[in-house]
Homo-oligomer: A and B are copies of this chain.
Amino acid sequence: MDQKTADVSFDSLLRIFTVPEGPDSTLTQIEAKLSQNLNHFLREHIVAEEKPLRDIEKDFSDPAIPEQPQFVSDHTQHLLDTLVSHSVHTSSPSFIGHMTSALPYFLMPLSKIMIALNQNLVKIETSKAFTPLERQVLGMLHRLIYSEKESFYSQWMHSANHSLGAFCSGGTIANITALWVARNNALKAEGDFSGVEKEGLFAAMMHHGYKGLAILVSERGHYSLKKAADVLGIGQKGLVAVKTDSNNRIVPEALKEKIVELKQQGIKPFAVVGVAGTTETGNIDPLRAIAEICAQEECHFHVDAAWGGATLMSNNHRHLLDGIELADSVTIDAHKQLYIPMGAGMVLFRSPEAMKSIEHHAQYILRKGSKDLGSHTLEGSRSGMAMLVYAAMHIISRPGYEMLIDQGIEKADYFANLIQQQADFELISQPELCLLTYRYVPKNVREALKLASPEQQDKIHQLLNELTKFIQKRQRETGRSFVSRTQLNPIQWALRDTIVFRVVLANPLTSKDVLTKVLEEQRQIATKVPSLINKLNEQCLAIQSAPQTTTSN
């Protein structure tokens, strides 16, 4: 049972700390239903048709903290009606638009245990065994990437004054941490200069005589790197975009030229970021080639493998990330392809000495020589999320993860083929991992395009962009399935700004049938915008009735 009365007395207050919800309470019932069959529970409770955001906002518009306590049961019902019912069914097999997918069941009760223990990983005194556990998890990921010998890990994994990496709330903090370390190592103490961490960036630049700093990354780098460049005082202009090839991979020659160019301008390129699984197309940069350039040019080589890093679990596909073992640091998000709940980012450093440049101590906490994790993290107080990664590694195991990775890649291949077999869909980017992009192009339009002039192509292209946007939005609102959309500049569209559907196929419950239905639904929705279809038809007619001249494409 919930609290008997919702009055405010110290006794009733103590009850919420001492008396658990009874077996018949609304909260217990809901927890049980959700634990028994999450997808069924969510299908029942999440409303199908999307409610407009401004209507949802009405339920969340009171800035006053309530003066009256609510019964737990009443509030739970309120959460069901206003929040759960209008949340996103991220674990649905037909939610294939983002990197969040289904979770293994065992992680839900384990999460509850983790939260009930309420450890604080900043310090041994508030986390005890969780500290060596987290260090082991970092060791496991480090070994997955760098495959160092056993002696390496027995020497460094639990060393008080070293760190193989940091557990973070997510990939953004992981990337910032990597670039923070790189910046501080590039501008460390020498002579009478006591290092950028103490004297700041201005003094560091004066000392070295640099006119600026630069981080280089492909045009397809994640937006978090822009944030990193801003936070770290380098400035977004210091994040230099390097040309990519037709497969969205950085062009090593272009990288080299850019570095030379920057140096000539007196700008220090202190880090290069290779992307292992771009967010928009899932492609992997040529990591080995970048590593060689970084070694020659004395740049820190960071790999943003937030999404794609889990591919290392598959012996069948880890070759795609060849060269990652040469990186100075690597970001991996366990809440993406390691199927852990939100909030499990990690950054790993090849050298156990790398993080010394950001080490910090404090008297009442993080004493020197202690093994407190907090002395090597950007964050302070942190939860015991590492426990979930640890458990999943043991229960799923490496071969289990291999299967999960492989099924995603195979499914993406299947879907790519399926799209290519359709007369009215066009594959935009081939999947390298389990991510691909495509769009809907009515059959007559595809025919007409073959004869169109560049100007005519432009017009059609604009209309197709609008159509793609419309279909994606409507499909999301209808609530049966969800694909995301982004904008690319594909070769086949002469680098025009092209709006595409984006699909990520990590959920092992996504069947081939689901994929067929997604295409059918998109085709159906297209028929519901006669205005756009009519305009496209008009264009087609104009092309086909025009005298045949030379056309491009």
Query: Which residues of chain B come closer than 8 Å to A224, judged between CB atoms?
Result: 380
The segment out of A95-103, A413-421, A444-452 that lies at the interface is A95-103
Interface contact A59-B212, CB-CB below 8 Å? no
Q: Is A454 an interface residue (CB 8 A)?
A: no
Residue of B nearest to A129 (CB): B86
- List residues of A (225-246) whose CB comes within 8 Å of B's CBs: 226-227, 229-238
Q: Is B364 touching A106 in the complex (CB atoms < 8 A)? A: no
How far apart are the CA atoms of A203 and B238 in the complex, in Å? 11
A8-B157 in contact (CB<8A): no
**Given A65-B143, A83-B387, A132 contacting B57 (CB threshold 8 A):** yes
A-B contact pairs, 16 of them (CB 8 A): A13-B396, A16-B104, A17-B105, A21-B109, A38-B116, A57-B132, A59-B129, A79-B391, A97-B125, A107-B115, A111-B112, A169-B169, A197-B236, A203-B235, A280-B364, A333-B381
Q: What B residues does A37 contact at CB under 8 A? A: 20
Main secondary structure of the interface of A (DSSP, over half): helix
User: Who on chain B is nearest to A29 by CB?
Assistant: B109
> Given known contacts A111-B112, A398-B65, is B88 in contact with A509 (CB within 8 Å)?
no
Contact assessment for A400 and B69 in the assembled complex, using a CB-CB cutoff below 8 Å: yes
* Alpha-carbon distance between A63 and B366 when the two chains are bound, in angstroms: 25
Contacts of A365 in B (CB 8 A): 223, 279
In the complex, A110 has a CB within 8 A of chain B:
yes
Q: Are B125 and A484 in contact (CB under 8 A)?
A: yes
The distance in angstroms between the C-alpha atoms of A380 and B403, with both chains bound, is 28
| B231 and A232 contacting across the interface, CB-CB below 8 Å | yes
Within the assembled complex, what's the spacing in Å between the Cα atoms of A101 and B35?
27
Name the interface residues of A1-25: CB closer than 8 Å to any CB of B. Answer: 8, 10, 13-14, 16-21
- A57-B132, A91-B118 are known contacts; what are 11 more A-B pairs with Cβ within 8 Å? A13-B396, A34-B112, A53-B132, A54-B158, A63-B142, A79-B391, A87-B128, A173-B378, A200-B235, A223-B362, A227-B358
Complex contacts, A82 vs chain B, CB 8 Å: 129
* Most B-side CB within 10 Å, residue of A21, A118, A231: A118
Judge whether A363 is part of the interface by a CB distance below 8 angstroms: yes
Contact status B88-A125, CB under 8 Å: yes
Cα of A101 to Cα of B422 in the assembled complex, Å: 59
A109 to B343, CA, bound (A): 18
Task: Provide the bound-state CA to CA distance between A212 and B233, in Å.
Answer: 13
Q: Which residues of B contact A329 (CB under 8 A)?
A: none
Contact with B along A373-409 (1 / 0, CB 8 A): 0000011111110010001011111111101100100
- What mask results when residues 135 to 171 of chain A are scored 1 for a CB within 8 Å of chain B, else 0? 1100110111000001001100110000000000111
| Bound Cα distance from A61 to B155, whole angstroms | 10
Q: Is the CB of A20 within 8 A of B36?
A: yes
Instruction: Please determine whether B126 and A98 come into contact, CB atoms closer than 8 angstroms.
Output: yes
If A100-B126, A382-B343 touch, whether A231 touches B234 (CB-CB below 8 Å) is: no
The complex places the Cα of A192 from the Cα of B95 at a distance, in Å, of: 46
Contact of A397 among B8, B84, B176, B196 (CB under 8 A): B8
> Could you tell me if B170 and A104 are in contact, using CB atoms closer than 8 angstroms?
no
A130 CB within 8 Å of chain B: yes
Query: Distance (Å) between the CB of A320 and the closest chain B CB?
Result: 18
A467 interface contact, C-beta 8 A: no
CB contacts under 8 Å to B, within A256-285, are 279-280
Of B143, B158, B387, the contact of A64 (CB 8 Å cutoff): B143
In the complex, what's the smallest C-beta–C-beta distance from A436 to chain B, in angstroms? 14
Q: Tell whether A70 pairs with B118 under 8 Å between CB atoms, given A171-B381, A231-B231, A343-B383.
A: no
A360-B129 contact in complex given A75-B391, A233-B200, C-beta closer than 8 Å: no
Given A66-B393, A72-B106, A158-B61 in contact, is the A83-B130 Cβ separation under 8 Å? yes
- A303 proximal to B (CB < 8 A): no
Cβ-defined contact, A279 with B364, below 8 A: yes
The residue in chain B whose Cβ has the minimal distance to the Cβ of A31 is B109
Restricting to A280-333, which residues have a CB under 8 Å from any CB of B? 280, 313, 333
- Does A254 sit at the interface, judged by CB under 8 A? no
Q: Which 5 A-B pairs have the closest CB atoms?
A: A233-B233, A200-B235, A364-B486, A223-B362, A201-B233
A364 near B87: Cβ-Cβ < 8 Å: no
Interface hub of A53, A129, A173, A403 (most chain B Cβ within 10 A): A129
Contact A201 B198 (CB under 8 A): no
Residues of B with C-beta under 8 A to A237? 198-200
Q: Which residues in B have their C-beta under 8 angstroms from that of A130?
A: 83, 87
Which A55-81 residues have a C-beta within 8 angstroms of B? 56-57, 59-72, 75-76, 78-79
